Amino acid sequence: MKLLLLHSDFVEWEVRKKAIKSAEDVKEKKGRAEEALAVFTAVEKGDEKNPDAVVKKAVREIEKTAGEVKAKNIVVYPYAHLSSDLARPDAAVKILGMFSEALKDAGYDVSRSPFGWYKSFSIKVKGHPLSELSKSIEAGEEEEEVPEALKKEETLKSEWYIIEPSGKEHRISIKDGKISGFDFSKHEKLLKLARYEMAKDRTVREEPPHIRIMRKLELVDYEPGSDPGNFRYYPKGRMVKSLMERWITRNILDYGAMEVETPVMYDMEHPTLKKYLNRFPARQYLIETPNKRVFLRFAACFGQFLMAHDAGISYRNLPMRLYELTRYSFRVEQRGELAGLRRLRAFTMPDCHAMCRDMEQAKEEMLRRFEVSRRVHDGFGLAIERDFEFAIRVVKSFYEENREYVHELVKRWGKPALVEIWDKRFFYFIMKYEWNFVDALDKAATLSTDQFDVENAETYGIEFTDSDNRRKKPVILHFSPGAVERILYAILEKAYMEGKEGRHSVLPLWLSPTQVRLCPVSDSFLDFSKELAESMTKEGVRVDIDDRVESVGRKIRDAEVEWIPYIVVVGEKEKESGRLAVRMRETGQVREMKLGELIEEIRKKTEGFPKAGLPLPILLSKRPVFRG
């Protein structure tokens, strides 16, 4: 069965004439439904073998989509054009009838246009990300393998609190989307995070602003030739991503981690790995190879733990820190949850595990890594004070025994935090913290996270020799400052929100693909512009030249659209005086500077950050347009 699902303001149809001799009898020649999920349906030959299974699976798909878009009205509209392998007419009518009745039994208001007729129809589709979906239903397809952790997550009981830096605790609750128990009047983003987490609704109903921006700046785009949630990076985007990867890796290696590399796929039937799969709340990609069934990794845990299992470790080696920038990690996020770079299916995960001697050493190590996160995100222009909200997930028994430590984390954070306390442990960790970014659509995304893992040393047989010469199991920490793509999402969303506040949207200077744009007023100043560019390039400045046959005003406007930090018009005055009128995007000011002064300012602002050359030809006339 093929389905085309269109969430619509309305759908209406009118019967015209028979398309086949065995067309259904018609009682009403016209029909209309408001606020409906229109289900255009083609019943196929294969559906005749097991109609019950097909209908059951089709209804499940409708329930999932209707629940996401909040639709109560369903229109079943026979539409043979969706398939070239159609069922016999009598079988199709029977299955369509079963389908409609099953939807009614599920509690929906169902309308069905007649089968076997030519009809005119009108429809107004809503246009949000979930308003147009296609589904293919097969009676024999396997059920999705969902890890036990995901199933169990739905049943866990939680208590929710706001904890202040002073240690004061406020029990909070939610009813009809309203949260009570704490005064959020000075903490608007924390309120949004609490509502997002407590309601547990991850569905995205409109396009996040960063998607338009990433395309406009020719950084990143969807890849139509791949699975949804996979992206292509244009030259400017690849340079930005590479610099981000290097910055993160440098900070984690400076903290003392050892960089390793591990495979992207693992044996589904490996007993240790299979157990861990069911303890991690994420869906996996499964692949049949010539020899075995494998899954694609969703983090570096598997490879690093297997490596630690084979290593000879002494207490003197602890904390032992292993790090990999996984390019790529994979998770089968649900279609309605995919949202540009915020939630995707293939991503670059910086993943650092630390094997610690005991819980006391682990707690000290977590505080050290907390500061690594701070340094990483400060470099991206993301600060705790204005850009993040803090969440802690903790098992009740651990919290009761370590209340002072949890309060110390909140104190270090410096503002109130959301705390979820589980009644019992199901996951492999007993506590984790999250740095959450709240975007323009009030959706929260975790960037930095760290976890106390008390299970996987046992699962993987990871041991160290202690000072008493006895073999013991370490406490493991799982740390990441965030997937690189998700950090880029936060940078772009922040720039958008600052633009809405009247400020100029910018990327951090060290990440800007072009740092200086030279705009010669005519071709006669092109050679001088090239001389200026050569001097800046030698000093590590990324500079390009707009040599197109355009007015100066147009060149400046285009540079502004590209978020170029420094724009310099080059003409007779600049050539004669040696002084440049520099338009500063961040402040909106125009400053007169010597070339050396401009180079020195950029050098100081980018000092300590990774460097890269210009990702595109220096002359704009030589550049392709990747995204119009």
Residue 497 placed within a domain: no
CATH number reported for the structural domain that contains residue 297 in this entry: 3.30.930.10
Residue 144 has pLDDT above 50, yes or no: no
**327-355 residue pLDDT tens:** 889 988 776 678 889 988 899 999 999 99
* Predicted pLDDT of residue 202: 60
End residue of a domain, out of 458, 492, 526: 492
The reply to whether 295 and 399 lie within a common domain is yes
Shared-domain flag, residues 95 and 161 = no
Question: How distant, in Å, are the alpha carbons of 208, 249, 264, 466, 490 from that of 507?
Answer: 18, 20, 32, 48, 11
| Residue 94 backbone dihedrals phi, psi, to 5 degrees | -60, -45
- Asked if residue 387 is part of any domain, the answer here is yes
* Structure tokens that stand for 601 in this block: 């300012």
Domains held by the chain: number? 3
The last residue of a domain, from among 460, 492, 524: 492
The pTM of the full predicted model, rounded to 2 decimals, is 0.77
Let me know whether 55 and 106 are in one domain. yes
Q: What are phi and psi of 439, to 5 degrees?
A: -90, -170
User: For residue 525, is it within any domain?
Assistant: yes
Q: Do 374 and 421 lie in a common domain?
A: yes
Beta bridge partners of 545: 518, 619
Last residue of a domain, one of 492, 524, 552: 492
Mean pLDDT of the chain: 91
Q: Do residues 424 and 312 share a domain?
A: yes
From residue 410, alpha-carbon distances to 84, 188, 288, 387, 399 in Å are 60, 18, 46, 16, 13
Q: Are residues 275 and 366 in the same domain?
A: yes
* CATH number of the domain enclosing 600: 3.40.50.800
Domain assignment present for 501: no
Looking at the structure, tell me whether residues 588 and 520 fall in a common domain.
yes
* 3-state secondary structure string across 539-562: CCCCEEECCCCCCHHHHHHHHHHC
Domain limits for position 484: 152-492
The CATH number assigned to the domain holding 50 equals: 3.50.80.10
**166-170, 174-178, 261-265, 597-601: least confidently modelled range:** 174-178
Are residues 607 and 545 part of one domain?
A: yes
Q: Are residues 270 and 172 in the same domain?
A: yes
For residues 260 and 282, the model is more confident at 260
- For residue 17, how many other CB atoms are within 10 A of its CB? 8
Average pLDDT over residues 389-401: 96
Asked, for residue 557, whether it belongs to a domain, the answer is: yes
556 and 463 inside one domain: no
